[in-house]
Amino acid sequence: MVSARTVDTAAEGQRPVPAESGDYDDRVVRGPERTTLRPIEITQPEGPSFTVEGSLLRWQDWSLRVGFDEREGLTLHQIELGGRPVIYRASVPEMVVPYGDPRFRYWQAYFTTVGNYDYGFYWYFYLDGTIECEVKMTGIVFTAAHPGGDHPYSTEVAPGLGAPVHQHLFNARLDMSVDGLANAVEEV
Ligand SMILES: [Cu+2]
């Protein structure tokens, strides 16, 4: 459904500066550190199940080459399952973070530590041939003054302090080579 009209604009006027910093890293805010967790140790007494020769990684029926691009970050090449080609090259080269609050505009096409976040890109290769990519992130939200009460663009995280509604969208670039080069892309 396309309506092609502007629904809202950003003019909201001034908001008061929050009275508190809202710094949850502050010991006073955070409270004492937990002391009840015990160490965990994971061992592989017979060694790992994978092998690495140069950039060539092998695990069970999978083989792939691991690369790195200064703009895209981790790149995976010549991914094969049981000797059959699956993907010639795979990466997650772009990310966009649209903020619901019209006062925020933030766009990035980088990798790893971007702005106020650390991103972890996890590629999973399953025994049944499934490939999965998961992105994990940790970081600190951008904040701005919050008018109090319900607000369409942000959530109040401390008195007068709001974290804007936003998304992290990632774009994966997959050069497929399933059983050869006769592959086509269809948008469904
Ligand atoms: Cu975020």
81 CA to middle of ligand 1, Å?
A: 35
Whether residue 92 lies inside any domain: the answer is yes
* Structural domain harbouring 171: 50-176
110 CA to middle of ligand 1, Å?
A: 15
Percent of the chain, pLDDT > 90? 40
- In this structure, which amino acid lies at residue 109? A
In angstroms, rounded to a whole number, what is the distance separating the alpha carbons of residues 73 and 68?
5
Q: What's the pLDDT tens digit per position in 115-161?
A: 677 888 889 999 999 999 988 888 888 888 888 888 888 899 888 88
pLDDT at 20: 76
pLDDT at 65 > cutoff 80? yes
pLDDT at 52: 94
31 CA to middle of ligand 1, Å?
A: 25
pLDDT at 129: 92
Whether residue 32 lies inside any domain: the answer is no
SS3 169: strand
* Least confidently predicted of 1-15, 52-66, 78-92: 1-15
Other CB atoms within 10 A of residue 52 CB: 11
Whether residue 24 lies inside any domain: the answer is no
172 CA to middle of ligand 1, Å?
A: 18
* Least confidently predicted of 13-22, 52-61, 62-71, 120-129: 13-22
123 CA to middle of ligand 1, Å?
A: 21
DSSP assignment of 63-84, as one string?
Answer: EEEEEEETTTEEEEEEEEETTE
138 CA to middle of ligand 1, Å?
A: 9
Taking residues 26-37, report their average pLDDT: 86
Whether residue 29 lies inside any domain: the answer is no
Whether residue 25 lies inside any domain: the answer is no
pLDDT at 170 > cutoff 80? yes
112 CA to middle of ligand 1, Å?
A: 14
75 CA to middle of ligand 1, Å?
A: 24
Contact between 93 and 71 under an 8 Å Cβ cutoff? The reply is yes
Taking residues 16-44, report their average pLDDT: 85
pLDDT at 5: 80
Whether residue 19 lies inside any domain: the answer is no
pTM, two decimals, is 0.74
Domain count, the chain: 1
166 CA to middle of ligand 1, Å?
A: 6
End-to-end CA distance of the chain: give it in Å, rounded: 17
Better-scored residue on pLDDT, 104 or 2: 2
Q: Which of 54-63, 101-110, 126-135 has the highest mean predicted lDDT (pLDDT)?
A: 54-63
Whether residue 76 lies inside any domain: the answer is yes
111 CA to middle of ligand 1, Å?
A: 14
Mean per-residue pLDDT over the chain, rounded: 85
